[in-house]
Amino acid sequence: MKKTIFCLILITVISFLALPPGYAYWIWTPKTGRWTSPKYSVKPNPKEQLKFSLEFYEQGKYKETIDECRKLIKRYPRAYEAAEGQFYIGSSLEKLNKPYEAYQAYQKVIDKYLFSTRIDEIIECQLKIGEAFMSGEKRKALGMELPVENPSLEIFRKVVENSTYGKFAAKAQYLLAMTLKNLGRFQEARDEFEKVVTTYPDSEWVAAAKFQAADSLGRIAPKADYDQELTKEAKEKFQQFLGSHPDTSLSRQAEHQIDSLKEKEAEGNLKIAEFYEKQKKYEPARIYYQEIVESCYYCSSAKKAREKLKELEKK
């Protein structure tokens, strides 16, 4: 009988030794009475498993870190160490130059482990990842295909949601609006800039948000049209900005934008005046020509308006 058992064990060992290197190997543990594989084994408690995982992290073995942290989470899902393991999965993915996956891994900590002491640290990591994607340079450098067109939009929105009124929310809200503006989505950008002003009135981003909201509105306004309401509104927004922030670095730019909007408004008024003149409604035409000369005397439209006023005097 003993000889039979010995033969079976010997055959089993030889069989495992004959397997290719890619196959997991198993070890008989007399204490537990089970076959175990080091590839799938987990330490007897979450603290030891986390410590074991971090040894790989410190050695720069980030793939191994991820594998061991996933074992930790699977075996001890409710432990404090599981939250730490999920955090180090995100950090390891960043080290492996997989920022979008890292962002998603970090989000799992917030979604599943609100007791984690790393929430603020994680939100800051997410914000930095969003900034890296903001210009699109990160994706170009990685040469990667992503499941979303512009990850920064998703990430900034999530940071605002995660942070609510925290220290990163106002910046994330501003960068979200700025990303939309850079994409040419000016109406959406304007709305998001306004949220910075109304939701975070005491933040350092308010002045810049007011400026960018006015600038976005100005870009929506048509170059020269009969309806110049958007142009007027944008001009008023810049004037309000100058009134409340006269000494900021953006003040000179605001003054330049006001001048540009005045020119745009003058172009629109010129079209209206010419329309009235063609209809032989000379008095309304004269009023619009005069408005151009008085409100934007330096505009190119003003020169033509002066000439038209002289012609109307003869009529």
Per-residue pLDDT at 16: 46
Per-residue pLDDT at 292: 83
Could you tell me the sign of the dihedral formed by the alpha carbons of 179, 181, 187, 191, in that order?
positive
pLDDT in tens, 175-224: 999 999 999 999 999 999 999 999 999 999 999 999 999 889 888 866 54
Residues of the chain with pLDDT under 50: 8-9, 11, 13-14, 16-19, 21-29, 31-32, 35-36, 224
Per-residue pLDDT at 138: 56
Helical H segments across the chain, by residue range? 2-18, 46-58, 62-75, 80-95, 99-112, 119-134, 137-142, 151-163, 169-182, 186-199, 206-220, 229-244, 251-278, 282-295, 300-314
Closest listed residue to residue 62, CA positions, set 100, 88, 84: 88
CA–CA separation, 181 and 196 (whole Å): 14
CA–CA separation, 142 and 86 (whole Å): 24
Between the alpha carbon of residue 9 and those of residues 12, 33, 34, 40, 113, the distances in Å are 5, 14, 14, 22, 45
Per-residue pLDDT at 142: 55
pTM above the 0.75 mark?
Answer: no
Per-residue pLDDT at 97: 96
Per-residue pLDDT at 243: 80
Q: What are the two backbone dihedrals, phi and then psi, of residue 61, each rounded to the nearest 5 degrees?
A: -95, 80
Look-up of token digits 């990685």 = 142
Instruction: Return contacts of 179-184, CB within 8 angstroms, 24+ apart.
Output: 179/134, 179/150, 179/152, 179/153, 180/153, 181/212, 181/215, 181/216, 182/134, 182/135, 183/150
